[in-house]
Amino acid sequence: MEVDFRFPQKATCKIFNFLETSTLLRMRELCKSTMEIVDNLLIINQTQLEQFLIYETIEQDEITILFSFKNIRHLLFGKLFAISASTKIPTMFFSLTIDNQSIRIVLRSAYFKTYLIQYCSLLHARLLSFVNLSSDIIQTCSVYFDGALYDCCQLEPNPIVSNFEQLADFVHLLRPNYVSVAALPRTRLTEFQEKKTALISASFNFLLELADIVPRLNIVMERENEVNDPVLLKLVQEILNRKCDTLLMDHIQKMDTALSVSDVENLFQFVHHLEKRKTVIMWIPYEKKKLAIGEFGMKRIRRIDRKSEFILFNLSEGRVFA
């Protein structure tokens, strides 16, 4: 009598989950049904990624997709399917690099949608990252990711196309709990001097829109060595007036301080009058580390150098956040 390995899904998953990776791959050699089962395991289990990054280089009409896998088994599945999906794309428009944790795919923008549907639909990532995306690619991603549940999202808007509104709508679709966004790097703005004011305004509006959508916002800023910045203080205050309840202001240059001493004091006063519990994490000048106003205090989290401290304010019934 012939043995039929087509089991109920629950039993199949159990048997195959007991196998170490090399044996699991050999099950593809057994018969067509086991090959199908192994290949479909990817769909059943939704291969878990640490990160799924989409990076666009508009000038070269290229998209880079980076998959960082959780473990070696998922990486093996990823490899199998990366090959399978790439057969639909002419070799000259597609390249694939693999190391022991990730797969990097570079393809022409025209093939992005094909690849996204064929391959990426099988994957689920902890962190979604979108860098420099044009409007067309955001549009494609909006259709594809609509309804998907992602907890963490990382964004770096493209200053050339400045499609902030579209990007905010996209984040609205994703509804993540946490967004990390690279605000417009100021050094890069020297390339767009005429548009500088408009770009800053648009990017700050974008941050405010995000603050209306997500409860946890991380803003990564690249700053020149200026200390006093009332615009930044105003931005922080506006963000804290919105849905966002945890704000992390991070800086590429760790030695920079975000706000002056007087800005920090102003911010303390401001937070003091908010009704909702808010948490702010940012850098302040070192000499003010013992600052405390009213019900607010700050706790030293980590000392980077003697000039700056990473600090945390908290409104929690007058207690310092521990």
Nearest to 110 by CA among 62, 163, 55: 62
CA 30 and chain centroid, separation? 40
Minimum Å distance from CB 86 to other proteins? 13
Q: Which residues within the stretch 45-84 sit at the binding site for other proteins (CB under 8 A)?
A: 76, 79-80, 83
Mark the segment that binds other proteins (CB under 8 A) among 5-13, 51-59, 101-109, 149-157: 5-13
CA quadruple 182, 186, 192, 196: dihedral sign: positive
Strand 216-221 and strand 178-182: pairing? parallel
250 phi/psi in degrees, rounded to 5 = -110, 160
Nearer to other proteins, 95 or 316 (CB): 95
Nearer to other proteins, 124 or 196 (CB): 124
Strand 102-108 and strand 94-98: pairing? antiparallel
Q: Which residues within the stretch 8-27 sit at the binding site for other proteins (CB under 8 A)?
A: 8, 10-11, 14-20, 22-23, 25-27
Query: For the chain, how far is it from start to end, CA to CA, in angstroms?
Result: 67
Minimum Å distance from CB 52 to other proteins? 20
Nearest to 241 by CA among 213, 269, 271: 271
Nearer to other proteins, 47 or 140 (CB): 47
Q: Does 2 bind other proteins (CB under 8 A)?
A: yes
Nearer to other proteins, 16 or 313 (CB): 16
Q: Does 4 bind other proteins (CB under 8 A)?
A: yes
Q: Does 28 bind other proteins (CB under 8 A)?
A: yes
Minimum Å distance from CB 117 to other proteins? 22
Q: Annotate 88-116 with b (16+ C-beta within 10 A) or e (fewer).
A: ebeeeebeeeeeeebbbbbbbbebbbebb
Among 30, 198, 231, 301, contact with other proteins (rule: CB under 8 A): 30
Minimum Å distance from CB 73 to other proteins? 11
CA quadruple 108, 91, 102, 141: dihedral sign: positive
Q: Does 3 bind other proteins (CB under 8 A)?
A: yes
Q: How many helices (H) and strands (E) does the chain have?
A: 11, 12
- Helix 196-213 vs helix 230-240: crossing angle, to nearest 10: 20
Nearer to other proteins, 12 or 158 (CB): 12
How many Cβ atoms are within 10 Å of 262's Cβ, its own excluded? 12
Nearer to other proteins, 78 or 157 (CB): 78
Q: Does 5 bind other proteins (CB under 8 A)?
A: yes
Chain residues in the site for other proteins (CB under 8 A): 1-5, 7-8, 10-11, 14-20, 22-23, 25-32, 35, 76, 79-80, 83
